[in-house]
Structure 1
Amino acid sequence: MPMDFLRRIEGATFPLAVKSESDIHCVAVLVAAQFVEAVLPPSGIEGAAKQVAIILRITPLGNAELNRMREAETD
């Protein structure tokens, strides 16, 4: 799940390389939602094992969403 992935990378050091196909998919969803800035691999390339996404940062919108999720957990 992309939001679980966002939580998982919250304390990471950026730039962060992501190599698994499922994590790259999560990064693509988070980029579309403007929660992270990242460089995504070109689509349609054979050999998913060779693909890498580079997460540059969690955006202010992404940080706001993380805070909202934390607040929702305490309610």
Structure 2
Amino acid sequence: MFAILPIVGGVLLGRFAPRGIAIAVQVVLWAVAAAMLTATAPDHGGSYSDAWLVVPALAVVSALTLLAGLWLRRRAALSRSGA
């Protein structure tokens, strides 16, 4: 469930927050999700070593969702300016 934080947060932050703040908050959301996924892995049939696969993949997906949010902001700004 915590993996949803950086995914949804990335799009929303990229779209509505200033770029510097969006990047900083996205890193925090990713760190929280990574820690929770690692800590709760044994409760869901995994092991702590599964983090070596899940955490880097989550980082890539988090970065892509932030880029998608930034792209949406740029697209909205261009449509408002009439370009």
Larger relative strand fraction: 1
Higher normalized contact order (CA 8 Å, seq sep 6+, divided by chain length)? 2
Larger relative helix fraction: 2
TM range (shorter): 0.3 to 0.5
Structure number with larger C-alpha Rg: 2
